[in-house]
Structures are given as C-alpha cells and as structure tokens.
Chains A and B, each alone.
Chain A
C-alpha cells in the first residue's frame, strides 16, 4: 500500500511536529509513506471565503502531487473535507479518484488499517476537541444533534493509549470558533467562542487539549497562551505516537 502524506500548509509551517508524528505513526504501522515535496495547500482558505474560483492553481497542483497513490492521508479533518467535497480539475477522473482516496488520519487508522491496538503511552489528563469539519463533515464521530448510536473514531484510538485520562466536557461538540478566515473577519465572536471552548476543558482539569485538526488547536492555543494558561494543545497524532 502506497500512501501519499498530505501536510496542510499551516501544519507544515507552524506545527511540523504534528506532521512528523503522523509520518512516524504510519511507518510504525507498516505503511509505506511518501511526502510529495511540491505540495502547498488544499485551497480551502480561498474556497471558504467565497473565492473557490481562485483555487484552480491549488487544485491542479494537488492532483499533480497526489495522483497514483493508493491513499492520501492528512492530519487534518478540515482540509480532507475540503478536498473530498470541492477538488475538481481539468483532469476530472484524476480529481475524482483523489476525492475518493483522501483520508483524515484517524479514520484511515480505524477504517482502512483497522488498528486494534497501539503501543503508545500518554500519562496525562486530556480533553478531546471535536473539530466540526471532521466530526460533522467527515462523520468521525456521532453528533449531539442526531438521534443515532454513539461512536467516535478518534476516541476509540485514544482509548488504546496507555495511562491517558480522557476528561468529560459539558458541551461535547461545540465549535471552537476558528472557522478559517472567520477567525479574523469575525474576530469578536471567534475569540469568544474560543474562550468558552477552552474554559470547558480547563474547568474539567485538562492538561492537554487534543483533536484531529491543528487549526482549531492553533486558535485555542492562541487563547490559552494569552491567558498564560499552563494547558497545552497537542495534535492527536502526537499522542498516538507518544511512547
């Protein structure tokens, strides 16, 4: 199985550790991973701001970089959702193939690799942030609005980690307010949402906030740091890869 590793632009630039952990974790699980060197961004920042028509360059590049892999895996629910829903290209067959083969990391582990155990240890109190695009968009876990059985792909993986203590939250899947360019165009509401989201974790004693999307974590980290809080954010790949 040949897997192409897609590292979203801001993860590449600001959170290389999340990407390193993803790569190492996949290799540990016996996957042959390659990182196409000419990748940039999935185009989501433009598309969600209403400029989908400016994403052709990104799309073309994405198709060029990621054609021919059995799967494409990324440590980000939001970027994967964007590719799945909006990637189009002159070569529509290639685009369509990529759309069907791109996976967010945790669902790739549970659905394709069918991971049943992990050699990981993380002796800390951890709050799990359900990023909306992963949860409601990619259906990574059950949503509080729907009447349906409970499940959680990232949650099931975290439960395989030794000595981890997952905390409960009052609002299990409230949005953190990041929302791409929303976080600057609607600064006031975005920050308030982030503060509230962080407070729920802090109140329940989290030492770390984790999730499948570094972008939400970046937003919450910005708020935690401003509050000089000792609580840290960490991408789920780093926990699943921790020893």
Chain B
C-alpha cells in the first residue's frame, strides 16, 4: 500500500517539516535506535568481517539465482510444501485470493510482510471481500489509521503514543486519553488473540529461505507470525526470490546481522523455522519476482537485491529521519527504497534518488554492504538520460555547464554574481530563491581569489 499522492519527495518532506517539534521527535527516536545499533555492533570484534561474509554469500546467490531457486523448490516440494511462482504483484495477489477462495476463507491474519505492501495485497483482497488483519502491533496500528507503514521494521514509528491511544479508543474500546504503552499493548494483545483463534488462514513474510533444505525462517519480536501460522489450517508465505541463502549454516551470519542492524538487539525474539506442514495443515510458498530479475539484469543496481530489510539505512539516513517514511511514497522508504523503486517505475519514482545528500552513511551501516549512495548517484544519471528531469533543471544545468566550460564566461559570470550580491541583493535575496527562504546568502567579497592571485603573485 503506497500512499496515493501526486506530490514528490521534496513537497511531502516540506509538509512533514511544517511541524518542527514532530520532526525533532522523529529524528531523535530513530537516532536513538541508530545509537543502540552502534553500541551492539561494537561489542563484536568481527562485525566488519560478518558484513563482508554476508555480502559475499548474497553475491553468490545473485550469481546463481536460477539453480538455487530450483534447488529450493525441489526441496520444499519434497517436504510437502506447495510452491507457487508469481511474475508480478498481480499474479501474487491472484494466487493468494485463489487459495483462500478454494477453501472458502474470507478472513485472514497476516504477520509483517513488506512484499505484500509492495504488491498492495490488503487492498486487493478487501476489494474481493476478504478481510485481512495485520497482527504485527505496529502494522495493526497503521492499518487502523488507514495509512501505509512508514518504515520497514518500525511501521508506525511516525506515530506518538497519544495518537495510538486515540486510535485504540476509537477501534478497540480502550478508555479515552490513555497513552500508557503497557495498557495499549495489553488491549492489542486481547484483540489479536481473538483474531488468531478465529482465522483459518495465516500469511507470513519470509526473512530467509534455505535452498539446501527447502525451509524458511521468519523473524519477529512479537511471536505473531508463529501464533498465526500454528493456529491456522493454511499458512501462506510470500517471498521475494532474493530472500534465498544457499545453506543452513549461513543462517548464523544473517541472524546475527539482521537485528543488530535493525534495532540493536543481538537476535530477534523469535526466529521461527518452517519446513513441512503438520498433519492436516498446508504450507504454501509464493515466490515473487515483481521486477527483481530486471534489477538483477542491471549491473549497476543488482547489489540492491542483497538487502535483508533491516531498516538500518533508514535509521541512519539524516534525510529519512527528517522527512518521514511517507514522503518516499513507496512501500519501501528510505535509501534502499530509493534505489529499488525506480526499477519498478522510473517515472513515478524519478524524484527518490535525488532525495539524498549522498552522505554515504547508509552504505556504511548496511549489513550486506550495498553501495547504496553510489547507486543513488547512478540512478540520477539514468533518470536524467531517460528524460525524467524537470525542464527548468535541464536548462539550468546546460547553462551552468556552458559557463563552467569556458574560463572567460566563468570569470564574467562570477564577477556579475558577486556584484549582484553586493549592489542589488534584493535581486537574489527574494522568495523565488529557495536558498534564501531560510538561509542568508554568502557575503560577496570584492575580489575573487583569482583577482587576488593576479595582484599578489604575478
């Protein structure tokens, strides 16, 4: 479920910034998580080696995707799991609807899965009369608020506890003006228990799928994936094809990296392995491509498929922290979302690779060493070449390039610019100049360095 909007990142971020106190709070909350991450990664001396190892394991997977997928499928089938293949979001949604229809199930419980957000599954099923309840607490909160998640690990990080209290009061019958997390969590617990007990179908995401064994691992802190999957007759797992790892022994690397990077915990509270269905129950895996093979075929961007969705790049990103997840108007926000989204739709997401200062913190923090900021730079080149740059910008850049390619033009323009700043500042210091809105222009010196050099050195 991506936010429906015609505004680009800059405009949405500007909206978000109207309430500066909220921006401060959002920034500090995420920074606090980033610091927790720092503390825990510094506790293990081999952190950088772990990152490198994970990156190489994923590199191997991406280079041999085809055979690992076949191996995974064969093993999963042998375990008695049903395997489905979906080329795109639409096929993914149809497959799931069909499975539910065959069993005449109209209510499903779902644990967190960003892939189903990417595919717009909830809305699709709602249109077809199937109710989906999200069982991850954060996801349930944004679901009640009728909003998409704003973060892949912390879906309701943009909401204050008072706002959550209001939502629970409205939908779950808690008293008004209650913001005590303990009371709210208890209310959610009672509400979800009822859901878990009555749903016959449960959908989960997949964090890691092991080609060697055909099993898959789902990581949650709330145990909600297990509750759903164990109580339901049919467990459907939605999985992006890049979630594969070759062998079981590699899990140790990724499980150590994932939650340290995400929240600063050593490991998720629950890392549940699903291998074969119990008697009388069914497990279905839907393997989804949805643009992934296309990204695999783009040499500059294929590394983005190494992503294990820890969210660390979002927590560290100074732009994300101050613009909020919804400003990215895509299911996966932040730095990683900005390199994944243009692959799906260049026109719609042409703004995202520009929503960065290229500070590089994301690449440093990424547990699988994705060169995120370099890919942002590369996407900019691709998008401009494909014609997705605003005309004004294009003209401005052409002018600038012409001026800077000629020393004579540059010296004249420089002089003129400085003169303008000194003698007619109102021509530059006005509302049409975005720099001037909240910042003063630099003071213009009488002479440039070159002028000084000519006078003092020749």
Contacts and interface: CB of A to CB of B under 8 A. Distances in A.
Interface in B280-295: none
Interface centre among A47, A51, A183 (most CB of B within 10 A): A51
Interface in B319-374: 319, 322-323, 353-361, 363-365
A1 to B, nearest CB: 18
13 contacts: A12-B450, A15-B445, A16-B449, A16-B452, A19-B449, A49-B393, A177-B318, A188-B13, A189-B319, A192-B23, A196-B27, A221-B442, A225-B439
A14 B42 contact: no
A35 B38 CA distance: 44
Interface in B194-226: none
B350 to A, nearest CB: 10
A30 to B, nearest CB: 17
Which has the most chain B C-beta neighbours within 10 Å: A58, A185, A221?
A185
A223 to B, nearest CB: 5
A136 interface: yes
A154 interface: no
B441 interface: yes
Contacts of A43: 401, 404
Contact of A51 (B23, B401, B454): B401
User: Main SS of chain B's interface residues?
Assistant: helix
Interface residues on A, range: 35 or more
Interface of A: 7, 9, 11-17, 19-20, 23, 35, 37-41, 43, 45-58, 60-61, 132-133, 136-137, 143-148, 171, 173-175, 177-180, 182-196, 218-219, 221-223, 225-226
Interface stretch (B113-121, B263-271, B376-384): B376-384
B401 A184 contact: no
A189 B14 CA distance: 7
Contact of A184 (B47, B358, B383, B434): B434
B: interface residue count bin: 35 or more
Interface string B394-407: 10011011101111
B414 interface: yes
A46 B27 CA distance: 30
Contacts, number: 213
B45 interface: yes
Question: Which label, helix, strand, loop or mixed, suits the secondary structure of the A interface?
Answer: helix
B416 to A, nearest CB: 10
A61 B381 CA distance: 22
B401 A46 contact: yes
B54 to A, nearest CB: 14
B437 A175 contact: no
A85 to B, nearest CB: 9
Interface in B404-455: 404-407, 410, 414, 417-418, 434-435, 437-445, 447-454
Nearest to B403: A40
B18 to A, nearest CB: 9
Contacts of B394: 51
